[in-house]
């Protein structure tokens, strides 16, 4: 089976007044269809840079990136934008809903670019709101919803175009513990019952523990790739620990 994501030797350099800065040092891993995994690391670890590359918001300096078996390493911005719109559903910490639109309209918005009629867009949006437990909230604006409900709207919006990948950036970061757990339960349900491939980027061990696989990154290097063991979540080695050759040298 072709992996949804396949990254090999991904390097990312940034230019600064102090000179070149390397944020990623040859990152390699794959994400299979139907996986529910997390990318975990502290601030400055490179996880946000990695997320931007996975989400086709940025490009690598070096390395190969296959999306559904197609090498997108040389894609220009127009091609990357088309891929983002059709194949990746984004979920953010602060929800990023349009405040003047109803829940239904927020979820239907990505479908405008897919060329669906208004009737088709609204039917699809209503179906997705019901899927995330918000049937009856179609007319509610974001200000009329709790934080957890807003995140559910955001998840429904991310699912609008049947993406190959759900990519979530700290999706529980703005929520209380109970509501955050409910949102993680929703991710698990989407994964187990509908086969949604989901990658959560987080610094929170509790969030990573809810996933089936953890890729831990530190100083631009993958230091762990395996199940969410106690050692892995705490930053320890664990049996799958692998030091990058640049560190071992």
Residue (of 28, 56, 6) closest to 163 by Cα position: 56
- How many CB atoms within 10 Å of residue 169? 20
Helix, strand, coil percentages (3-state) for the chain, rounded to 5, are 35, 25, 40
**Rounded distance between C-alpha atoms, residue 44 and residue 5, angstroms:** 23
Q: What are phi and psi of 73, to 5 degrees?
A: -55, -35
Instruction: Give the DSSP H/E element, type plus range, for residue 244.
Output: none
- Domains annotated on the chain, with CATH: 35-52+83-248 (3.40.50.300)
Whether the CB-CB separation of 166 and 128 falls below 8 Å is answered with: no
The mean pLDDT of 141-166, rounded to a whole number, is: 96
Whether the CB-CB separation of 243 and 218 falls below 8 Å is answered with: no
Helices 118-131, 147-158: axis angle to 10 degrees equals 130
pLDDT digits (tens, 9 = 90+) for 176-225: 999 999 999 999 999 999 999 999 999 999 999 999 999 999 999 999 99
Q: What are phi and psi of 183, to 5 degrees?
A: -65, -40
Checking phi first, is residue 2 left (phi over 0); if not, alpha (psi -120 to 50) or beta? Answer: beta
**Rounded distance between C-alpha atoms, residue 243 and residue 51, angstroms:** 21
**Global pTM?**
0.89
Residue (of 196, 186, 151) closest to 170 by Cα position: 151
Interstrand relation of 36-40 and 198-202 (parallel, antiparallel or unpaired): parallel
pLDDT digits (tens, 9 = 90+) for 16-52: 888 889 999 999 999 999 999 999 998 889 999 999 9
pLDDT of residue 245: 35
Residue (of 65, 90, 58) closest to 3 by Cα position: 65
**CA 68 to each of CA 3, 33, 167: distance values in angstroms, whole numbers, following the listed order:** 6, 9, 15
pLDDT digits (tens, 9 = 90+) for 91-114: 999 999 999 999 999 999 999 888
Whether the CB-CB separation of 138 and 127 falls below 8 Å is answered with: no
**Rounded distance between C-alpha atoms, residue 100 and residue 240, angstroms:** 48
How far does CA 77 lie from the centroid of its chain?
20
**CA 95 to each of CA 92, 221, 229: distance values in angstroms, whole numbers, following the listed order:** 5, 29, 29
**Rounded distance between C-alpha atoms, residue 46 and residue 224, angstroms:** 14
Q: Is the pLDDT of residue 238 over 60?
A: no
């Amino acid at each position: 089976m072709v992996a949804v994501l396949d990254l090999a030797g991904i390097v990312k350099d940034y230019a600064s007044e102090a000179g070149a800065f390397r944020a990623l040092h040859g990152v390699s891993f794959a994400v299979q269809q139907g996986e529910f995994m997390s990318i975990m690391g502290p601030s400055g670890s490179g996880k946000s840079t990695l997320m931007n590359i996975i989400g086709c918001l940025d490009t690598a300096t070096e390395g190969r990136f296959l999306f559904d078996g197609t090498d997108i390493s040389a894609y220009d911005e127009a091609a990357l934008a088309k891929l983002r719109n059709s194949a990746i559903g984004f979920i953010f910490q602060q929800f990023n809903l349009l405040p003047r639109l109803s829940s239904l309209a927020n979820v239907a918005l990505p479908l405008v670019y897919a060329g669906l009629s208004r009737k088709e867009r609204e039917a699809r949006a209503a179906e997705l709101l019901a899927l995330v437990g918000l049937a009856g909230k179609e007319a509610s604006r974001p200000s009329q919803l709790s934080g957890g409900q807003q995140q559910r709207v955001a998840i429904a919006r991310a699912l609008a175009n049947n993406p190959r990948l759900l990519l979530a950036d700290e999706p529980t970061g703005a929520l209380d513990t109970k509501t955050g757990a409910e949102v993680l339960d929703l991710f698990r349900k989407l994964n187990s019952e509908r086969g949604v491939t989901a990658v959560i980027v987080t610094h929170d061990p509790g969030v990573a523990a809810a996933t089936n696989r953890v890729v831990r990154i530190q100083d631009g290097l993958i230091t762990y790739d395996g199940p969410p063991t106690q050692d892995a979540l705490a930053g320890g080695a664990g049996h799958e620990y692998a030091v990058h050759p640049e560190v071992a040298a």
